[in-house]
Structures are given as structure tokens and as C-alpha cells.
Chains A and B, each alone.
Chain A
Amino acid sequence: MEKICRDLEGTVQLLAVSGTRFVSQWDAAALHRAFRWARYCQELHARFHTDTEARRTLEGALRLANARLGGVFGQCRDLEFADLARCEFLLCSNLMQNPALHQSAIRLFLDGSGPAFPYLEELIGYKAATGLLAHAWESEEDQGFHDPAVATQGRILRGRLDDLMLHHDSERRSVDLLDSILQECKGERRQVAYILAAALLSGKSKDDDGRAQEVIADWLQRDRDLLQTFCRVLPVSSITQVVKVSTKFREAYRDVLKSWAHTLKYDINEGQWVQTSEQAVSFGDLVDHFRSLLCASPSLKKETDKVLMEMKAADGDFEVRGLSVSSDVLTELKNNAI
């Protein structure tokens, strides 16, 4: 077992290196050796995944190896026991996305009987198939949140977070994961918001205790700007769904709606409420947000009514148009009740 643990540490290092520029030094023989190691790890998984005791030992070895590596080769997720089952694919994936890869490796990938060919062939096939089917949505305007890829990515992220919930330091690891993603997708906050919403909405299994959801909602509140983007770019109906599944998000959302209301100014000449911040929404959109909450469920209706009444009271309980946003929102909701 000791030797196996050493081998595992070697593989952890190998996979980490496979994504770096050092790969340029790997010749054909080195690549073949790398694939043999990857296959060996797959066999280890096949042999030990039902053997609880051995599995625990190997998991320990992996943890140690990951810690020793300590992110020396850049940011990437720690290798876990379940990953051993698809070591070859992980290796292929790293190599194929690595621009430093030696030219001679190309032939290895293209070799129909070689170890990397199935990955290459299947990846190209799946990509082409998804590209082909994406045409079915083409006629629709900007799909945004409704792009099927968003739901898939959200579910994958959620799956990972659910896995992390089983670890002792689940919260720190989850926050690290979400931080890293946000960090690297700075210019894509809208996209990140979509994926987070999809992650929030994707847990449906019976034994789902909703912990991962609360972690996401907590994390969202740390970044006020992202939270606003989240509430602004998502379809109103989807936000209401998120409200239904996460109590923590419900509170944060209420605050966002209040702050949006404060950004609106009444234009006497135009006779209507005007949006003053790009980070907020128009009066009409604000009404839609409240209307969606009122229609969601009896308890949400009660709660939302209460919030609106409180807002109105705080504004001075005016009934005259143009003095209080919340008062006008209430009037608008009453006049155009569904």
C-alpha cells in the first residue's frame, strides 16, 4: 500500500505538470509513460473503490499529495479519489488545452489506436452535436439565462458544491471555489450571475439539504455589486424561484429591491419615476419584481405586502403620486392586478 500511495503522489504531480509549460520537454516516450500512469490510476480506482479501508488510505494519500503540491503549478482543483476513474481523460484534457505541448504529441492524439484518441474523437463529436442542436434555439433572441449551456454549467457547479459539503472545511472550500471563478471571469459578471442562478435552482434530489444553496446565497451577499447584477440580469420569474428555495437570498433580495426603490427619482415634468443608476432598474421593472413575489405563494404575498407597507410608512404614508416610490408601486399593483 505504501508503494501505491507513492505512485499516487507521482500521478498527482504528473497531472499538475501536464497543464504547465514544462510539458514542452515531454517527448513521445514521456507522453506514453504519462498515459501508462494515468491508466494505472484508473485500475487502482476500479480495484479499490468498493474497499472502504483501502479507499480511505488512498484518499489520505491524495490529500497529503495535494497539500504537498500546494498549488505550486497554478490554480487547479485538488485531485480526489473519484477523479482516479478518469485519469486518462484528465490528462488528455490538460495536454490538449496546453499550448506548450510538444508538436510530436499531435500525432499521438490523432493515432486511432492511441490512448488519447477516444478523448479527442468524443470531444469533437460532442462539440459538433451540441453546436448542431444549438441551431434549434437560434431563432430566439438573446437566450441569456435560458441558454441550455447555462443550466448545464450551473448544475455542474452545484454538483461540485454539494460534494464539498461532505468535507469538514466545506464552507472555506466552497468560498475559495466561487472566489476563484469570479476572479477569473471578471469581465463576465452577467454570465457568472446566470450560472450561479442555475446552480441555485438545480438541486432537486430528495436528500438535498439545501446547504450548498445557502452557501451560494451567503457568498452572493459578500459582493453587493454582483448581487445587484444577479437580481438585475436574471428573468424576474427565475429570481422568484430562487427566493422560494433560499431563505437567505430572500432577505438579500428584499434589501436590493429597497435600495433600487431609493435610486428612483420622480420627474415632475415627465410625470413619472426615472432611473438614476445603471445598477438599478426602472419603475416598471421594480413593479414587475414585486408583482412576481406577490403571485409566488400566499406566504410570500403576505411577506411582500408587509414589506411594501413598511416602505410606504417609512416614506410618510403618502397617497399622492410622485412622493413615495413604494406608495406608487402599490397603486400600480392595485390598478393592474393580475
Chain B
Amino acid sequence: MSHTGPFPERLVEFWMGKAVEWGQALTPATRHDVALHLGQLRAFLGRLLLELRVAGSTQEVMRAAPFVGQFLGRLCWNSFVTADKESRGCLLQCLHSMYSVQPQGSLELKANQWIQNVLCHLLTEEDSGTVQTVLKHVGWTLRDYHSELLRDMVALLVNDVRKASCSEIHTRGVCSCDRIHGLSVSCTLLVTCPEAAPLIGALLECPSVCPKAAPSEAFLHAVNEALLSQRLVLEEQAVVALWTRSLVSLERATLQLLELVLSDPQPPMQELEEQVTGSLLPRASALSCPLFLVVSDIFRAALRGASGSRALRSLLQAFTRCFLQAWGQVEPQDRLPLTAFFPSTPVSVLMALVQRPADLPEDAWPAHLLWIGRCLQMPRGHNEAADARWRCGPFDRWLLLVQNGHWVDVACQLLVTSDPQVSAPLVWLLMFYHHPDDNEHKRTQALAVAEAALFHLRALFCSACPPPPPRQQEHVQVLGGLLTAHSQHPSTAGLLLRLSVSFCAFSSGPVSAAVELLDVMKVHSELVHDAITLLTGFECGLSGGEANPRLRRIQDILRCVRVGTNSGVPQGLSVEAAHSSDVSALVTDAKQSAIAFTTGGPRDVSLPNALFSSYTPFLAGNG
């Protein structure tokens, strides 16, 4: 058997080499190297722990892999390693596994003695007699003292860092850059230590006038990972500073949100908004326009590959809503105008779309929607600059509608309640929303299907002359047939579902018709799920969260139907399935898009300093 036990010899050699090299010499170079190898070290310690746990006895371990004792010992003596929570946990558990309750033979006795010594060193070393005496007499534990000392040190260093950044700006006096950089390396090892968070924030916010003072890459990476895994809580400004300094970190954050949202097919709007807010992206975007542009562009790239994905569209809508809310909360003197965030959109269109329906009187909705529809429609002969105010193509117009999807919900409501004679612009808006990139022919076909469905829906939900039960059944059957026939065409099926659910929710026609119509959906449990998501979206966007009795009633019916389908979890055939079934593919697409612009790629945006200045022209020129 090899003397490295279950580990490849070269790997053990590497880590032993590191442990020896690091030793106890706590120099800046060692600190830097430990920070650089931290991730790998954690993984190796994790593997080692697993092996120790399955080993029969300490004697066995020491025979099979004699390096273990020395390796653990050396690491335990290195406070750079023990400062990291995960490494520390692993080391202590390794010691626990190696401690023999009933030691057999001198080897195990020696091992036990050694572990006791290591612990003694870890616990009492470096604390002078004075400290111990004072603590004993005032009744403080060493743990409480060191926790207090850490807080004090952090407060002092925060002051130093802030002062350093001020003096650099004003006088360029004594250069404290090395110290600031060194602190950032130290903090790489403290990212999961809550007491160090203020210092981490101060380092991030410290303006790097001198390139030597820039925080280390490993630090930025470690902070971002800890932030995303919610093991570190930072002030908003620090988060903005982190993402402004490190575009890669911002992309990781955005992609993580995408992954999170896409892994849960369609959470209710409210839950989705909580997830989005939790990502800190809307708030950071509101505070920093360049961040907003990058995040939007990643979403845009993801949607380009999967424009039909409802999950993505909902995410974008939720993100925009949260962003607008956060933007509204920023002090007016500290914020840029909204047009800076949407540079390719004419201000009048932008303002019309971002307006919340609840803030307008309901009788103004039809004219408002008519105006939005007209603005979004691609003017014939647009190459003659029929509308020179737009600086982007149809995809971006559609994107704008998706971002402000609440007006699509309003269109649904108006379509149900208004005169069929004036419904054409509303139908167009819904068509545009569901068929953004279809050609003329396909769109005409879909329009015909939509008109047919509308005919039956109007008849079914006519409150003035409700159809007798046999006729009601006929309409329901036709509508059910349409849904089934187009279940393979996600865009059309999505449109049909939206129309059906809108009539159930907003018409004043008989609820019995809704019961019948929703009941035919139960053959497709996924449709029911989609319908519930739509309804929660209506509730959230239109009534501003206020209880609307009919909406509630329809939701209850749908829930009953869902119970009847015996499946609360959508699977297989969904109106969105064709687009969103392969979540990982979507995320990969988005990642590739993100990588494309971090590495220059087709868009030729160089990193990192040129990024923000080059974003606006890039967006503008992409029409």
C-alpha cells in the first residue's frame, strides 16, 4: 500500500509541500498563498475527513497514511488556515475522528497526547498572562474577549481604511496602498466571519486611486461567493462597490438568480419578487445604472435564446417591478433619470409603460393601452426613420413590454370587459406579447385561432344572455379542443390559455361557465398550474394585492381542479414545456452570452474598466 493511503501521491505531496511552506510563518506571502488555495484546501480537507471517518482506527490511519498527523498538525498551527470557518471545522472534525476513546497501543496514546497538545496550543497560545488574569477576575471567557477584540480591531481598521481613502484623494499623502491590499487578502479568509463584514464593506468601498490598493481578485471572488450563499451580509453600497469592481461577480449573481428561478418552474409572482429582491440585484441596479445595464443585458441574452419561456418572462417582469420600486426609494438627488437606464427607449413610451396601472384611473386604461400599442407597433417603412426616437429593433420593443408585463394583464382585462368592436389593438398587443418573433404568416394563423377562441369565450361568458347548458357545453368543448390542438405550439397555447383565464377572471358572466371551462383543462395538469400562475400575476399587478372576490373564487376553483388532476407539480406537456423544459440548457445559453461579453466576444466589450463606458453605445447600436 502506498504511504499516502487512498490519496494520489502527487496530491499528498502537493498539500504536504504547502503545509510545510506555509508553516507558522505568518508573512504576507503565506497569507496570499493560503487565500489563493483556500477553495482547494477546503475540498481536500473534506475528502480527508471522509476517509478518516470510515477508517477503522487511528492506528490504521497512521499506518496507511502517516502524513495525516503531520499535515493536520501543521495546518492547525497556521492561523491563516484556522481563520477560515470551513477549514477550521474540517480540521477539528479530523482531530475528533483521530482521537481514540480507548487507545490501543503506544501509537494511539501518542496520537491522543498530540491532539491534546494541539488543542492546548489553539486555545491558549498568544494570550498573555495579563489578559488571562484580567479576564478571570472580571469573569469574561476567552471566547467573548477575542470576539470583542475582533470587533474593536475591525472598527479601528474601518476608520483607517476610510481615512486612507480620503487622504489619497485629497493629498495623495503617505501611500497606504500595500496595507489596504494586504487587508483585502486577510479578509479573504474572513468572509464568513460576520464581525469582519464592516471591514470588508469599507475595503470594497475604498476608492482605488492607486492601482496597488485594488483589492485582490481572490478577495472579490470570496466575498461574492459568501454573499451569494448568504453567509455574508453587506450594506447595499458595499454590494454595489463589489459588483462595480468585479463584473464577473455581478454575472455570477445574475446567473445564480436565473438558475434559481428557472429551477422552480413558475412560482407565484409574490414569491418570485421575494427571490428577486433577495438577490440584491434590483436595489444595486437602482443605485448604479451601469450595473442595471449589465444585468438587463444578461437577461436579454437569456430571453433571446428562449423568448417563449414564461419563467424567464415572469422573472424579467418581477425584476423590473422590483427595480422600479427600488429606484423610487433612492433619494431623488442621488439617482439618475429612468431614461439613463433605458437609453434606447423614447421617454414618452418608457413613462407610459413603467406607469403602474393602479396609479391611473381605470377609465384611462383603454387610451393608455392604445397609446402603448401604437408606440410598440413596428411602423411600416421604419427604415425611413418613421419613428426616429426608437433606437432599437422589435426584439427590444417586445422586451420592454415583457419587462412591464402588467400592461399585458390590463389588456386581458379590457379585452374581456370592452366592446368587441374596439378590441383589435388589445388583441394585437396580446399577439405581440406571445408571438414576438413569428413571421406574418404564422401570426395571421395565430390571429385566426385567437379570434375563434374569442368568439366562443364571448358567447360562453355572455352575461346578458347566458347560453343554455347544452350550448355552454359546446363552447367549452370547442375551446378545450383548441387548447389541445395547439398544445404543441407554446406561443399559441399560451395566448389561448391567457384568453381563457382572463374571461374566467374578469367577465361578469356565469361562474358556472368558468367551472366548466377550467374543468376541461384538468386533462393537462400543467395548464392548470400555468393558469394559477397567471391568476396570481393578475391579482398582484392589477388589484395591487387587494382581494378581488371573483379572482379569489376562480383561484379556488382552479385549486380544486388541480387536486382533481392529482398532480400539483407540472410535468411533461406544458404550454411552456417546449421552451423551458431544459432549464440547464437555458442557463448555459445565458452563461455563454455572459461569457461572450466578458471575454470581448462578438460584442467586443473589453473588461473591466472600459465596460461601463462602452455599454450605452453598445445597447444603442444593437437595434
Asked whether A and B interact, the reply is yes
Tell me the smallest distance from the CB of B392 to a CB of chain A, in Å.
50
Contact B134 A153 (CB under 8 A): yes
Contact A112 B89 (CB under 8 A): yes
**In the complex, which residues 131-183 of chain B have their Cβ closer than 8 Å to any Cβ of chain A?**
131-150, 152-154, 156-157, 160, 179, 182-183
Residues in A neighbouring B89, C-beta threshold 8 A: 112, 121
**In the complex, which residues 94-141 of chain A have their Cβ closer than 8 Å to any Cβ of chain B?**
96-97, 103-104, 106-107, 109-112, 117, 119-136, 139
Does B375 sit within 8 A of A, measured CB to CB? no
Does A157 sit within 8 A of B, measured CB to CB? yes
Does A223 sit within 8 A of B, measured CB to CB? no
Contact B92 A97 (CB under 8 A): no
Contact A127 B152 (CB under 8 A): no
Name the residue on B nearest A133 (C-beta).
B153
Contact of B149 among A92, A148, A177 (CB under 8 A): A148
**In the complex, which residues 159-186 of chain A have their Cβ closer than 8 Å to any Cβ of chain B?**
159-160, 177, 180-181, 184-185
Contact A133 B150 (CB under 8 A): yes
Residues in B neighbouring A109, C-beta threshold 8 A: 119
Residues in B neighbouring A106, C-beta threshold 8 A: 99, 112, 115-116, 119
Tell me the smallest distance from the CB of B589 to a CB of chain A, in Å.
41
**Which of A83-91, A208-216, A265-273 is near enough to bind chain B?**
A83-91
Does A156 sit within 8 A of B, measured CB to CB? yes
**Which of B6-14, B77-85, B263-271, B469-477 is near enough to bind chain A?**
B77-85
Contact B130 A131 (CB under 8 A): no
Contact B137 A177 (CB under 8 A): yes
Residues in A neighbouring B156, C-beta threshold 8 A: 148
**Which of B190-198, B281-289, B416-424 is near enough to bind chain A?**
B190-198
Contact B150 A130 (CB under 8 A): yes
Tell me the smallest distance from the CB of B80 to a CB of chain A, in Å.
7
Does B549 sit within 8 A of A, measured CB to CB? no
**In the complex, which residues 4-62 of chain A have their Cβ closer than 8 Å to any Cβ of chain B?**
none
Residues in B neighbouring A92, C-beta threshold 8 A: 141, 143
Tell me the smallest distance from the CB of A191 to a CB of chain B, in Å.
5
Name the residue on A nearest B113 (C-beta).
A103
Contact B146 A135 (CB under 8 A): no
* A156/B88 contact (C-beta < 8 A), A103-B116, A123-B123, A185-B133 known: no
Does B96 sit within 8 A of A, measured CB to CB? yes
Contact A127 B116 (CB under 8 A): no
Tell me the smallest distance from the CB of A155 to a CB of chain B, in Å.
8
* A127/B79 contact (C-beta < 8 A), A106-B112, A160-B139 known: yes
Complex-state Cα separation, A125 to B95, whole angstroms: 16
Tell me the smallest distance from the CB of B582 to a CB of chain A, in Å.
40
Complex-state Cα separation, A109 to B143, whole angstroms: 14
Name the residue on A nearest B127 (C-beta).
A127
Complex-state Cα separation, A155 to B155, whole angstroms: 14
Produce 1/0 per residue, B412-438, CB < 8 A to A: 000000000000000000000000000
Residues in A neighbouring B142, C-beta threshold 8 A: 93, 97, 123, 127
Residues in A neighbouring B157, C-beta threshold 8 A: 133, 136
Contact B93 A152 (CB under 8 A): no
Say what secondary structure dominates the interface of chain A. helix
Contact of A107 among B88, B99, B140, B186 (CB under 8 A): B99
Residues in B neighbouring A126, C-beta threshold 8 A: 143, 146-147, 149-150, 195
Contact A136 B88 (CB under 8 A): no
Complex-state Cα separation, A120 to B136, whole angstroms: 18
Tell me the smallest distance from the CB of A198 to a CB of chain B, in Å.
11
How many chain B residues touch A (Cβ–Cβ < 8 Å)?
65
Does A77 sit within 8 A of B, measured CB to CB? yes
**In the complex, which residues 70-84 of chain A have their Cβ closer than 8 Å to any Cβ of chain B?**
75-77, 80, 83
Residues in B neighbouring A313, C-beta threshold 8 A: none
Q: Which of B82, B141, B145 has most chain A Cβ within 10 Å?
A: B141
* A152/B149 contact (C-beta < 8 A), A106-B112, A112-B96 known: yes
Name the residue on B nearest A191 (C-beta).
B130
Residues in B neighbouring A120, C-beta threshold 8 A: 92, 119, 123
Does A280 sit within 8 A of B, measured CB to CB? no
Name the residue on B nearest A109 (C-beta).
B119
Contact of A129 among B125, B132, B196 (CB under 8 A): B196
Residues in B neighbouring A157, C-beta threshold 8 A: 134, 138
* A129/B183 contact (C-beta < 8 A), A136-B157, A148-B152 known: no
Complex-state Cα separation, A84 to B82, whole angstroms: 30
Does A151 sit within 8 A of B, measured CB to CB? yes
Contact B92 A121 (CB under 8 A): yes
Does A207 sit within 8 A of B, measured CB to CB? no
* A128/B79 contact (C-beta < 8 A), A112-B96, A136-B183, A153-B134 known: yes
Tell me the smallest distance from the CB of A212 to a CB of chain B, in Å.
12
Contact of A132 among B88, B96, B123, B189 (CB under 8 A): B189
Complex-state Cα separation, A157 to B130, whole angstroms: 12
* A125/B83 contact (C-beta < 8 A), A89-B144, A133-B157, A135-B186 known: yes
* A184/B153 contact (C-beta < 8 A), A90-B141, A132-B189 known: no
Contact B154 A133 (CB under 8 A): yes
Contact B123 A125 (CB under 8 A): no
Contact B101 A104 (CB under 8 A): yes
Tell me the smallest distance from the CB of B162 to a CB of chain A, in Å.
14
Contact of B101 among A107, A128, A136 (CB under 8 A): A107
Does B129 sit within 8 A of A, measured CB to CB? yes
Contact A135 B99 (CB under 8 A): no
Does B124 sit within 8 A of A, measured CB to CB? yes
Contact A152 B96 (CB under 8 A): no
Contact A125 B193 (CB under 8 A): yes
Produce 1/0 per residue, A185-220, CB < 8 A to B: 100100110010000000000000000000000000
Contact B92 A180 (CB under 8 A): no
Contact of B145 among A139, A156, A181 (CB under 8 A): A156
Residues in A neighbouring B149, C-beta threshold 8 A: 126, 130, 148-149, 152
Name the residue on B nearest A179 (C-beta).
B137
Contact A97 B123 (CB under 8 A): yes
Does B440 sit within 8 A of A, measured CB to CB? no
Residues in A neighbouring B125, C-beta threshold 8 A: 127
Q: Which of B126, B143, B190, B196 has most chain A Cβ within 10 Å?
A: B143
* A153/B131 contact (C-beta < 8 A), A125-B88, A133-B157 known: yes
Contact of A122 among B99, B147, B153, B183 (CB under 8 A): B147
Contact B143 A185 (CB under 8 A): no
Contact of B193 among A129, A153, A191 (CB under 8 A): A129
Produce 1/0 per residue, B17-49, CB < 8 A to A: 000000000101001000000000000000000
* A110/B99 contact (C-beta < 8 A), A123-B123, A177-B137, A180-B137 known: yes
* A123/B143 contact (C-beta < 8 A), A135-B26, A152-B149 known: yes
Contact of B138 among A77, A121, A134, A135 (CB under 8 A): A77
Does B122 sit within 8 A of A, measured CB to CB? yes
A-B contact pairs, 16 of them (CB 8 A): A75-B137, A92-B141, A107-B96, A117-B92, A120-B92, A120-B119, A125-B88, A126-B146, A130-B146, A130-B153, A131-B126, A135-B26, A148-B153, A149-B149, A153-B134, A191-B128
What 5 pairs across the A-B complex have the smallest Cβ distances? A126-B146, A110-B96, A128-B83, A93-B141, A160-B138
A contacts, CB < 8 Å to B: 75-77, 80, 83, 86, 89-90, 92-93, 96-97, 103-104, 106-107, 109-112, 117, 119-136, 139, 148-149, 151-153, 155-157, 159-160, 177, 180-181, 184-185, 188, 191-192, 195
B contacts, CB < 8 Å to A: 26, 28, 31, 79-80, 82-83, 85, 88-89, 92-93, 95-96, 99, 101, 112, 115-116, 119, 122-150, 152-154, 156-157, 160, 179, 182-183, 186, 189-190, 193, 195-196, 199
